[in-house]
Structure 1
C-alpha cells in the first residue's frame, strides 16, 4: 500500500512555520517526528514563567525593600536568590515537560508544587540562617509570582487551544486496534480538538476498514503486525494502542522496543477509560508492569484542606459580594411578588438532605405549574429543563444566564452542607431512582460548580452529566478543583448552556 495514504495532513502552526516531519521513503530512518511548534511553545511557557518571576521580584521586592528599609544591594541579592530558587524548583518538578503542557490539571499541579516547595525552602533557609528579612519574600513575593504565573500559563494554553480548534498545532496520530475502539478514539479526538490529537491513519488486525478502506473517514493503512514500519515511514508523533485481542504483553513489549529511536510516543489506552489522574500508578512486580488503581480518597488531609478552603473562601466571597446580593434582592422584590430567596430540599453527602438557598428566578407558584409543563420537557433523564420556561421572571432570566441566582449557595458552603466544587446537588425524587453506580455521586459534598458547570450546564445530556459527576468523584484532586473554579468564571461570563 502506498505510503501516501497514511501521511499526516500538513497545516500551518501557531508558534512555527516548520511543519511536523512527514513521509520518508521505504527503508529510510525517519528523524524524530517532533512538531516545530512544540519546542517553541515550551520556550514561550518558560519565558512567561521567567517574566512572571522577575516582575514579582522587581515590583513586590522593591515595595518590600522600601517597607522594611532594606538596603538596595540586599534587595537585589535576595531577589536574585529567590528567583534562582524558584526557577530551580520548577525545573526539578518538571514544570516545563512537553507531556503536560497545554492540557489537563497536571501542568498547573506541577507549577504550584514547584512554587510551594521553593517557598518552603526559602522559609527554612531564613530560619536556619536567622535571616529575618526573608519573611516578606516568603509571604509576599513568591505568592505574587503565583498570581502572575498561573494566569499567564492559562492565557498561553487558551491560545494553543484556539489554534487546535482551528486545525493547527495538532499532533498526527496513528491509531492501532479493533475497528470499534479506534472509531471511539477518532470520535473523542474530534469532539475535543483542544487535546491536540488528530488521527491521520489506522491499523487494524486485518488491515481493512469499510468498503472505501477507511474508518470514520480515516484511511486504514495496514495491519497491526506492520505497525512499526508505518510509524517510521509516516512520521507520526503518537502511536495510540486501543483494545484488540491481537495485543498481548509480548507484542506490546516488542512494539515498544521496535519504536525506540523513532521519536514517536507510544500511548496505550487502558480498559479503565474513566479512571485517571492521581488514582493511576504504574508499578513493577516480579518484572511485570502493573497498573495500580488506588481507591478514591474521601477523607484525609486533602479533604480537610478542601473544607477549610471552602469555608474561608465562601465567607470572603459573601463579604465581597454583599453589595451585589443586596441589589439583586431589591430587583427581585420589585420585579415580582414573592420571597427573595428560594429554598428547596436537596440531597448531599451520604444521602443526607439539606435546604439549598438560591435567588428566586420564577413566579411564586412555579412548583404548582410544573405539572402542566411536563410534556414540554427538553431535559433528559431525571431532569426537567425548558429553554423558554414561562415560569421564569424577567429578572430571573438575567440571573440564570449569568448564574447569579446560585450565589446564595455560598451560605450552604459556609454551613458545610455544600462545597465550592462538586457534583450537582440532586433532588430527593431524583436520588430515589438512582442506580448503584449513580449513587456514587453522593460520596462527596455537592458543589456550587463542577465539571458539569464548565462543560455545558443545561446543554448536557443526563448521561453526560452523570459521567462527569462520577469522573469528579473518582479522580478528585485539589488541582482539579482549582482548574474547575478558574473555568467557572469563563462559563458564567459566556452564559452558555444556562437557562
Structure 2
C-alpha cells in the first residue's frame, strides 16, 4: 500500500525553490550503486549494453553460419578451401541476418531487459532470415539452402535467445543493486501517481526507478511511501523541469489524464527536449497489451487503435496444437515420477492418489479436474468447520496452515507437483497448459461485474496468477491478471510463463 505523508521528511520544497519552465539548467543524469562510487550516465550504459549485445549477436550468427559450412563441406577439415561462391553465400546470409536483427529492432532501448518483445524480435528476425535465405538461394540455384534453413539459422536463433536470456539475467541482477535503471519523475493526480508508482515498485527487475513525484490536484509537499521506499512529492506541475534537473531524471511519466490538458503535455515535451529527457505517457487502458495497440496518424492527429481480443480462430488452433504436443511429451517424461508420487500419497494417508473436483471451464462448461490428493480423504466434509478461518482472497478459500493437508500433501503443494495430473485434462481438451486459474462453481456463482470474462478461454495449469504470487495475491489482483491474460495472450508469452513457472515451483512463495 502507498501512503502520502504530510510531514516532509528532510527539506520541504515550495514553488519558490523550483524555477518554472525555461529557468532551470539541466544536470547530467547519473546512476550509482549505493555501495559504490562509480557513476555512469544512462545513455552511456545503454550504448555499452547494446554494443555488447551487438558483439554477441555477431559472434553467434557467425558461428551459426560457420557451423553450417562445416556441416555442408566437411572436406575443409582435410585442408581444402571453400570455393569463392560458397564463401559469397556465407557472407550474404551473414549480412542479411544481421540486417534483419537490426530491422526488427532486437536491440532497441525500449524493449531491452523487459517483457517478451526482445525475444519476439529475435525470433522474427530468424524466421525472416530463413525465408530470405530460401528465396535468394532458390533464385541463384544454390544447393546449400537446406543446411541454413533447417539447421544453421534455427539452431543459431535458439543460441541468440539463450544469449538474450543470460544478458537479461545479468541486467536484472545489477538493477537490483541500483545499476542500469532509468530515473523517472511521475506526474499526475494523486491517485494516478500512487497507482503508477506502486506498479513500478512491484515489478521485479523493473526498468524504472521513481525518484520524485509531482501531483497536480493537491497543494502539498511530502513523501510518497511505497513498501520500503520514500519518494519526495511536489505540487505545481510547472515545476517539472526543475524537479527533473534536481534529481537527474531520465524520463517523466505522465500518469493518466492531466487537468492541465493536452497542450500542457505538448509544451512539457518541448521543454524536456532541452535536457534530453524522455516523455512517457501511461495509457489509461491498463488491461491492454502493446500488440493490441496500433497508432495511425491522420493529418497530424495521432489515433490509437485498440484491436479486439480474439477468443477463437487460428491462434487458438495453434495454442491447442502446442498444448497437445507439450502435454504428450510431458506425460511421457513424467509418467514414472507421477507413479512414484501416487505411491507415496497412498502410503502416507488412506484414500486414492487422485483428487477429482468439478471446476468451471471455457464458456461456463463444467469438467472434472484431476490433482494429486494433498489432503485427508474427508477434506470436503471438514471444510464447513474451517470457513471462519479463511485467509483466502475474495471468494477463494485458503489457509496457510490447513489442518487437512497431509504430510506428503504439504510438499506437493509447496512445489506445485499436485497439479501434474492436470496434464491429462489438457489432453482431454478441458484445460490449456497456460490460462486463467480454473474456478470452482461456487466462485463463479459469486462473480460480479466483468469477472466472468475469465471464462472466455480455457483455464490453465499455470498462468500469470501462479507466476506473480499465487495465493499471496489479493482477489482484485488475481482477477486483473486473469483478465489481462484472456485478452492479451500469445504463444511466446505462454512459453515465457511456462519457464517462469519452473522458477516459481522452486521458490515456493504463495504456495499453500
TM-score (norm 2): 0.86
Q: 1:257 aligns with which of 270, 273, 276?
A: 270
Q: Tell me, in whole angstroms, the C-alpha distance in 1 between the residues paired with 2:18 and 2:240.
A: 12
Distance 1:450 1:308, change over 3 A: same
Alignment of 1:207-226 (within 5 A): 208-210=219-221, 213-216=222-225, 217-220=230-233, 223-226=236-239
Q: In the TM superposition, what are the counterparts of 1:45-444 in structure 2 within 5 Å?
A: 45-59=53-67, 62-63=70-71, 65-66=73-74, 73=82, 79-192=90-203, 194-205=205-216, 208-210=219-221, 213-216=222-225, 217-220=230-233, 223-228=236-241, 230-231=243-244, 235-444=248-457
Structure-2 change in CA distance of 1:380 and 1:203 (3 Å): closer
Structure 1: gaps of 5 or more residues: 21-33
Superposed displacement of residue 98, structure 1: 0.6
Match of 1:19 among 40, 54, 68: 40
What whole-Å deviation, never above 9, does each CA across 1:227-247 have from its counterpart, x for those lacking one?
345546754211111235433
Please tell me whether the aligned partners of residues 208 and 220 of structure 1 are also in contact (alpha carbons under 8 angstroms).
no
Distance of 1:461 and 1:189 partners within structure 2:
18
Kindly provide the CA deviation profile for residues 220-269 of structure 1, in whole angstroms up to 9, marking residues without a partner as x.
45622343455467542111112354332222222223333532111112
Q: 1:400 to 1:193 in 2, by over 3 A?
A: closer
Spell out, residue by residue over 1:359-413, the C-alpha distance to the aligned partner (whole angstroms, 9 max, x if none): 2222222211222222222212111112222222222222222222212211111
Q: Does 1:42 align with 2:53?
A: no
Name the SS for the 1:298 alignment partner.
Answer: coil
Structure 1 match to 2:482: 469
Structure 1 segments of 4+ aligned residues over 6 angstroms from their partners: 3-9, 13-16, 67-72
Q: Between Structure 1 and Structure 2, how many residues are aligned? A: 484
* Structure 1 contact 170–198 (Cα < 8 Å) conserved: yes
Distance, in Å, in 1 between the alignment partners of 2:75 and 2:502 is: 35
RMSD after superposition: 3.0
Is the partner of 1:391 in helix, strand or coil? Answer: coil
SS of equivalent residue, structure 2 residue 40 = coil
Q: Does the 8 Å CA contact 1:14/1:37 hold for their aligned counterparts?
A: no
The Cα shift of 1:273 comes to 2.1
Residue 127 and residue 323 in structure 1: after superposition, are their counterparts in 2 closer, same or farther (change >3 A)?
A: farther
Query: For the residues of structure 2 that align with 1:356 and 1:325, how far apart are their CA atoms?
Result: 16
What TM-score, normalized to structure 1? 0.88
Cα distance in 2 for partners of 1:15, 1:67 equals 54
CA contact under 8 A between 1:18 and 1:37: conserved in structure 2?
A: no
Structure 2 residue ranges without an equivalent (≥5): 1-15
